[in-house]
Structure 1
Amino acid sequence: MDLQKPPAAPPAQPPAQAPEGCLVVAIRLPVRIVVLVLVVPVRMAWDALVVVARFLRGTVLRPLGRALLWLAKALFVWPLIGLWRYVVVPLGRVLGWLGNVLLVVPAVWSYRYVLTPVGHGIAWLARGTGGGLAWVYARVLTPVGLAVLWLLKGVGAVLAAVGVGAYAGVAWLARYLVVLPARWVHAWILAPVGRAIAWCARGVWLGLAMLVRGIGFVLYWITRVLVVLPASALWRWVLAPVGRFLAVLAREVGDALGHAWRIAGRISLVVGRFLGALFRWIFVEPVRWAYRNVLTPVGRLVRDAVLRPAARAARSVGRTARQALAAARETARQARADVRRMLFGEPRKPSEREALVRREPSEGETRTLGRSTTALTKD
């Protein structure tokens, strides 16, 4: 078991940068200064627009979007849902039932009780017709065909025996009247003429090839001298240095833009914090001080000196009014009871039998564990 700690790995070295020339160093500082001066107003305007956009999004656009969304739901979504749920779906079910009753059921019935028996009959008839045709082919057409074939073979043998002699004569005449003269004409006339024409065409082709090669050689050197060499010199001594300079300038401008954008962000953050602090000390802190040291004591004074006594007075007035109303209701109730007694006499009291039948607990009785006072379980 190895108890020794392995040596620590050396720290990773940053990638070595290529040495920069004096031209790059001379271009970098003025470019960064100019770009910083141009970018700072743009970044501050951009940050101000971002703050305004966030404020508008939180206070105007989001409520407006929610209102428009609700309005769109109320005008389009909910009517479409109601139309689909209460019109299209019931209508589709009705149409499906009608299609099933008017199309599917009659089609199934006609297929099962009309087309299937007719198809079986047609298939039986076709099988019978095919069997009859097969019998005719096997018993009638095949013997007749074999007899015709035997007859044709006999006629062919006779004609072949007669035509052998005629073929030999025709072949001898064609050999001596056509083939041998054509071979002589080809060997002594056409072949020499063709070789001469081929030799002339080869010479003409070689001459044309040499002419085209010479013209191409001349055009190559003219193009090389007048176009390629000037273009190469222009690329090597003008365009390539200018391109390298423009590449260095573009890279430095890009780096300067990034650097200036970050610095402008820092400057914009500092300016924003300064303006926020200024706004806080000019407006927020005075308002807070006025609220804390002026409005709060005044409010407490008004609450303790005016509102609470007014509330107590209102509560006492309300209590007095409620008592007066209760007394008036009690007086009216007694008056109605007196009028009822004068008109109809004293009300009849229930007898003991009726009290037992009603099986209701008396006023002083209470429900305990040993005694039930309900109407169903009372002893």
Structure 2
Amino acid sequence: MEPQKSLPEPRQPEGCLVTAIRIPVRIVVLVLVVPVRMVWDALVVAWRFLTDTVFRPVGRALLWAGRALFVWPFVGLWRYVLVPLGRGLAWLGNVLVVVPVVWVYRCVLTPFGHALAWVGRGIWAGLEWVYARVLTPVGRAFAWVLRGIGVGLAAFGVGVYAAVAWLVRFLVVVPALWVCQWVLTPMGHAFMWVVRGVWLALYWITRVLFLLPALAVWRWVLVPVGRVLAVIGREIWDALGHAWRVAGRISLAVGRFLGALFRWIFVEPVRWVYRSVLTPVGHVVRDAVLRPCAEAARSVGRATREALAAARESVRQARADFRRMMFGEPRKREAVARREPPGAETRTLGSSTTALTKD
């Protein structure tokens, strides 16, 4: 089943005020927007032309120049100077620092550390014996003495605390509770009653003098004015959108007219001159001048190559004759008997071509 298409929302009914505002606003906005849209379209076309013909080639040239001046030298410096230098320094550091340090650690520090650990274990065992056999009994005796002293002091402190607590209760707490109950509480109730009355009076005065007039102004003045301004703003916004689209159509028509006018005034005459005048003249020049000149140039080049080849052959022969006259004929290599049969002969089961089956 095909999905049901959503129905357009029903348009709300509009009053005569909206209709009376819409038409003048759209006419004024259209008159103001058409020149702006045409200027905008002209700027867009100019920007695209400059981007395709100037900015993009210049950007590519600058990018290539930046690579040639900054990237490639640094890449070559890194690849052919810094990397080999770093590898050499790493090898020197390994040979001069790492290997000696590892040898010192393995052959000097490790045995010395083992010896210190053995001495430390002996000292620790002695300290454990002193702690278990000497310090622990002395500490227990001292703790027993302190525990006795602490029990006596605790009993004395409990008595003192009880006496102080009784004095504080009857001299401070009881009078304070009486003052709070019979003096401060009635005064606080009276103060809260006065504050509540002042708050109610201020509330009604503020409501009558400020809140109700402000509410009336908001309800009967600002809301209607805001609705009228909202209608005007919405109509202006819709008129701007409508005028922008209409101006785009007008600008497109004007642009096409100017393009057609430019084509018929400049492009078509130039194309006719190129096809009807320059092309036949170019063909005549090519057939009558360029091709004979090219054939003559090829013939001259061919004769020059043949002359140079003959001169090289003569020089090579003269050099060979001079070498033969000065040093004699070169010795010929002696033929060496090969274990393999010559190319004309082939191996068979009955032929003796190996060292074990030769006669």
Does the TM-score normalized on the shorter chain lie above 0.5? Answer: yes
For structure 2, the residue ranges without an aligned partner over 5 or more in a row are: 319-333, 335-341, 346-359
For 1:248, the aligned partner's letter is V
Aligned with residue 188 of structure 2, among 185, 205, 218: 205
Q: Which residue matches 2:348?
A: none
Once the two structures are TM-superposed, the CA of residue 52 in structure 1 deviates from its matched residue by 0.9
Distance 1:250 1:125 in 2: 95
Q: In the alignment, is residue 65 of structure 1 matched against residue 59 of structure 2?
A: yes
Percent of residue pairs identical: 58
Aligned with residue 249 of structure 1, among 232, 255, 258: 232
Map Cα deviations across residues 48-84 of structure 1 (whole Å, 9 max, x no partner).
1111111111111111111111111121111111221
Aligned with residue 116 of structure 1, among 104, 110, 113: 110
Of the structure 1 ranges 198-207 and 52-61, higher mean CA displacement relative to structure 2 is found in 198-207
> SS at 1:20's partner residue?
coil
Correspondence 1:213-292 to 2 at 5 A:
213-292=196-275
Report the RMSD for the aligned CA atoms in angstroms: 4.6
Structure 1 residues 267 and 118: CA distance shift in structure 2, 3 A: same
Map Cα deviations across residues 299-324 of structure 1 (whole Å, 9 max, x no partner).
556667xx26x96599689979999x
Q: In the alignment, is residue 186 of structure 1 matched against residue 170 of structure 2?
A: yes
Structure 1 residues 73 and 22: CA distance shift in structure 2, 3 A: same
For structure 1, the residue ranges without an aligned partner over 5 or more in a row are: 1-5, 341-356, 358-375
Distance 2:300 2:203 in 1: 125
Q: Which residue matches 1:362?
A: none
Q: In the alignment, is residue 77 of structure 1 matched against residue 71 of structure 2?
A: yes
> SS at 1:14's partner residue?
coil
Aligned with residue 21 of structure 2, among 19, 27, 37: 27
Distance 1:46 1:256 in 2: 18
Distance 1:130 1:229 in 2: 91
Distance 1:229 1:74 in 2: 78
* Number of residue pairs the alignment of both structures matches: 314
Structure 1 residues 17 and 145: CA distance shift in structure 2, 3 A: same
Distance 1:197 1:205 in 2: 10
Aligned with residue 49 of structure 2, among 51, 55, 61: 55
Distance 2:48 2:135 in 1: 100
Q: Which residue matches 1:360?
A: none
Structure 1 residues 143 and 220: CA distance shift in structure 2, 3 A: closer
Structure 1 residues 149 and 295: CA distance shift in structure 2, 3 A: closer
Larger Rg: 1
Distance 2:179 2:116 in 1: 80
TM-score (norm 2): 0.70
